[in-house]
Amino acid sequence: MSAVPGLAPTIVRTRAIADPGALSDRLPEEPVLSWIRDGEGIVGWGTTARLDLPGTEFAITAESWWREHCQSLLVDDAVRLPGTGPVAFGSLAFDARTATSTLVVPRVVLGRHAGRAWLTTFDEAPAAIPPISRPHAPHRVSYADGALTATEWTGAVAEAVRRIRAGKLDKVVLARDLLATTLLPIDVRFLIARLAEHYASCFTFSVDGMVGATPELLVRRMGDRIESRVLAGSARRGPGGDDLLRSDKERSEHEYAVRSVVDVLAKYCDPLDVPAVPSLLRLPNVVHLATDVSGTASSDATSLALAAAVHPPAAVCGTPTDVALDLIPELERMDRGRYAGPVGWVDAAGDGEWGIALRCAEVSDTRVRMFAGCGIVADSDPVRELAETQDKFVVIRDALEAHTVAVPTH
């Protein structure tokens, strides 16, 4: 146990519990947080503390804020696994210059890992898990264009290709948004349950209105082990997925993404293992080129610090980073906010997992703003890139599970 002398400590207790079943079924009817993969992970609800800061101030400030917050707690952890004791969920801005990042410390955390389950409570929070809850579907959903129509977006891709061929940059990732309006207010628990069921191998996340199922692990730290799964290069699920490994275009896009992560993690790992050839990651709707990078930590940087250092990788930004970062808002004509930014969690020991907020939406009341993007290189085809975004929108559209009224795109 530890606490800062002279301050009234917040008591944090973690206790082993019986298997609660699906974590998503135990979320109460209040603001919730989640990080679930293959039935394991952590979920939380309530708020004991939070930090909201512009992206340019966030990385260093958040790290010191979290350390100081943990020092003010009196911790009684009878389980002692990564994710037990104090935990903060985070959702960080894509572009530190324009958006706000958030860390949320929940009032209750429910977790499950490797056959063990636990409940963490802060102060007087109930020490029992909520009953199984079945949230309502949002019902009737209508769709409309976001910042750009489909035609305008393909034009933006064509302009990106022109600049790449002119030697302005090597790669840029362009995204588009799609707006949905529902008849009933969105119950985020419904989306979490649907995503965790249908995309079990992805990380189903929910942090302060950002909800999704990301396949991409930006960085994981567990003790002295650091890992990252880099995804770039995609195709629709089917027999043609194997062609990714033979595609010069897709391999080139993937290599830019791997190099951007490796160059950063090499500063924090010794040694660092990087496979020479990518593998295929098959998801229900798409196939990705994937490279699993791993190494032994050579510093005490927390998972939060590592996520901030690696971001933005070429997989969601481009190469060179500074040129791509300036071009993205010019061509997309929107602010991504926390889309394509780091999302995940960190515990008091600095362990944690951070993904990239992909296959996701920003949810507020009856409004859903979905995002999907593609890596653009010299031989990208705008029409094919548009089709790829439509495939990626399916993740959230299917999770809404409602009769839809489509608003035609132009």
Furthest-apart CA pair in the chain: how many Å? 65
Out of 159, 171, 385, 392, the active site residue is 171
Residues 22 and 14: their CA atoms lie apart, in Å, by 19
Out of 216, 362, 385, 388, the active site residue is 216
Identify the sign of the CA torsion 383, 387, 392, 394. Answer: positive
And the tokens for 252?
A: 């080139």
| DSSP assignment letter at 135 | P
Active site residue 385: no
Residues 23 and 333: their CA atoms lie apart, in Å, by 38
Active site residue 216: yes
| DSSP assignment letter at 311 | P
Closest by CA to 170, choosing from 35, 260, 106, is 260
And the tokens for 238?
A: 């089917």
How many other C-beta atoms can be found within 10 angstroms of the C-beta atom of residue 335?
A: 14
Residues 157 and 137: their CA atoms lie apart, in Å, by 35
And the tokens for 186?
A: 């969105």
Residues 292 and 137: their CA atoms lie apart, in Å, by 36
Contact between residue 34 and residue 43 where contact means Cβ atoms under 8 Å apart:
yes
CB under 8 Å to 325, separation ≥6 — which residues? 95, 312, 317, 318
Please report the DSSP string for 254-305 in residue order: HHHHHHHHHHHHTTTEEEEE--SS-EEEE-SSEEEEEEEEEEEESS---HHH
Contact between residue 35 and residue 97 where contact means Cβ atoms under 8 Å apart:
no
Contact between residue 225 and residue 380 where contact means Cβ atoms under 8 Å apart:
no
Residues annotated as part of the active site: 171, 216
